[in-house]
């Protein structure tokens, strides 16, 4: 039996949602992990189901490979990267390394960087070429389990007492949203268009509002999400299903187009209209994990508009900001959590996210 610092023994076995392949996720008994030096064992409180989890579940090429890239998933692997939990065991030196103690509540960044590659050595750790990713690589099993292990190189942050378990599970997506908004380089008075108002998009709307744009427009195909976007700070909302959304943006900007557009739908069909909504020399931020390939006229990007195209990946350096904003109430994420399921009901949770008409953020509660 592995022993906690407080003397209580960890169980030998636990339940976990294990990814074996596309549409092959199983609730299985697995061994409870034990901590090596520098490692942390968590009792998981909540784990969110991300849109990227659904793309992995449905077999998107990014995760399972195609002629241009190797598979992102190295399984079988316990899924889940939007997790929070309580520290219940520490390997030798782990408390000092991560500045945590048994009983602390923590979150961790999705990426576990190597610390040695060119990107890590130049501060771009979130682009690490040898990284492990929670919930996708079997060296770093994810949070859809009763317990999980944080490796010695994990990037760990304590959660304040004032932040609830379910809100703590949204620290990871909020941090990603903050990074995407920072990539937009929004200036005072800018016209900003947020395309997509799921979990990430709504967090982006809230962060964009804090940048004080002149006009903040949110787009989504689900009207209930647009209503939430207005509560998060959007000045105007449009449903592209109603038609004419590109012209509406042009009409609102004297024909120029918006200054900044952030795309967070995961839908390849959103790219072309997005490019037509941006002014010349404007900024396009692409955050989405796409479910498939998108075709666009690249002439618009270059010769047509000389656009600034910025990618956004993960939440580098923004976890402390996300935690601070939640603690101070600068961003209220309560309306985002729409469903909570027991771990045994994970299939209902996946179905809710896969058919998002009535759901936004779905949590599993081991």
Q: For the chain, what are the domain ranges?
A: 13-170+333-365, 174-311
Q: b/e string for 124-153 if b means 16 or more Cβ within 10 A?
A: ebbbbeebbbbbbbeebbbbbbbbbbbbbb
Residues β-bridged to residue 78:
18
**Predicted pLDDT of residue 8:** 60
Q: Which fold has domain 13-170+333-365?
A: Quinone Oxidoreductase; Chain A, domain 1 (3.90.180)
Residue ranges with strand state E in the chain: 13-21, 24-31, 40-49, 77-78, 82-90, 105-108, 111-112, 132-133, 147-150, 156-158, 191-195, 215-219, 236-238, 258-263, 278-286, 308-311, 337-342, 361-365
pTM exceeds 0.85: yes
Q: Are 115 and 126 in contact (CB under 8 A)?
A: no
For residue 130, give both structure tokens.
């040898």
Q: What is the pLDDT of residue 71?
A: 79
Per-residue pLDDT in tens (0 to 9) along the chain, 366 residues: 455 554 467 999 999 999 999 999 999 999 999 999 999 999 999 999 999 999 999 888 888 877 777 778 888 999 999 999 999 999 999 999 999 999 999 999 999 999 999 999 999 999 999 999 999 988 899 999 999 999 999 999 999 999 999 999 999 999 999 999 999 999 999 999 999 999 999 999 999 999 999 999 999 999 999 999 999 999 999 999 999 999 999 999 999 999 999 999 989 999 999 999 999 999 999 998 887 788 888 999 999 999 999 999 999 999 999 999 999 999 999 999 999 999 999 999 999 999 888 899 999 999
Residue 218: closest CA among 195, 241, 199, 198:
195
Tell me which CATH homologous superfamily contains domain 174-311.
NAD(P)-binding Rossmann-like Domain (3.40.50.720)
Residue 3: predicted pLDDT: 54
Closest C-alpha to 60, from 354, 362, 361: 354
Quick one: pLDDT at residue 5? 55
Spatial CB neighbours of 165, under 8 Å, sequence gap ≥ 6: 45, 46, 84, 105
The predicted pLDDT at position 1 comes to 43
């Amino acid at each position: 039996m592995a022993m906690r610092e407080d003397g209580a023994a960890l169980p030998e076995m636990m339940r976990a949602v294990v990814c074996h392949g596309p549409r092959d996720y199983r609730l299985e008994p697995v061994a409870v992990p034990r901590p090596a030096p520098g490692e942390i064992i968590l009792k998981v409180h909540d784990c969110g189901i991300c849109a990227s989890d659904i793309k992995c579940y449905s077999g998107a090429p990014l995760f399972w490979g195609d002629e241009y890239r190797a598979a992102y998933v190295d399984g079988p692997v316990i899924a889940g990267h939007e997790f929070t939990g309580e520290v219940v065991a520490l390997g030798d030196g782990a408390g000092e390394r991560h500045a945590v103690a048994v009983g602390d509540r923590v979150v961790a960044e999705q990426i576990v960087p190597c610390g040695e590659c060119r990107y890590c050595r130049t501060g771009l750790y979130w682009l690490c070429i040898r990284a492990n990713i929670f919930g996708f690589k079997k060296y770093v099993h994810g949070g859809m389990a009763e317990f999980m292990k944080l490796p010695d190189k994990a990037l760990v942050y304590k959660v304040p007492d004032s932040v609830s378990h379910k809100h703590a599970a949204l620290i990871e997506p909020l941090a990603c949203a903050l990074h995407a908004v920072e990539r937009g380089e929004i200036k005072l008075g800018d016209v900003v268009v947020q395309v997509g108002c799921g979990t990430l998009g709504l967090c982006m709307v809230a962060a964009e509002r804090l940048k004080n744009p002149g006009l903040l427009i949110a787009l989504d195909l689900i009207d209930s999400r647009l209503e939430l976007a207005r509560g998060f700070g959007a000045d105007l909302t449009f449903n592209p299903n109603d038609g004419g959304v590109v012209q509406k943006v042009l009409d609102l900007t004297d024909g120029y187009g918006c200054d900044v557009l952030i795309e967070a739908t995961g839908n390849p069909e959103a790219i072309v209209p997005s490019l037509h909504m941006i002014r010349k020399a404007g900024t396009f931020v692409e955050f989405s994990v796409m479910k498939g390939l998108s075709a666009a006229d690249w002439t618009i990007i270059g010769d047509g508009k000389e656009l600034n195209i910025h990618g956004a990946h993960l939440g580098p350096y923004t976890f402390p900001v996300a935690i601070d904003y939640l603690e101070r109430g600068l961003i209220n994420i309560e309306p985002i959590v729409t469903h909570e399921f027991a771990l045994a009901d994970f299939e209902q949770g996946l179905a809710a996210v896969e058919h998002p008409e009535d759901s936004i953020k779905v949590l599993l509660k081991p």
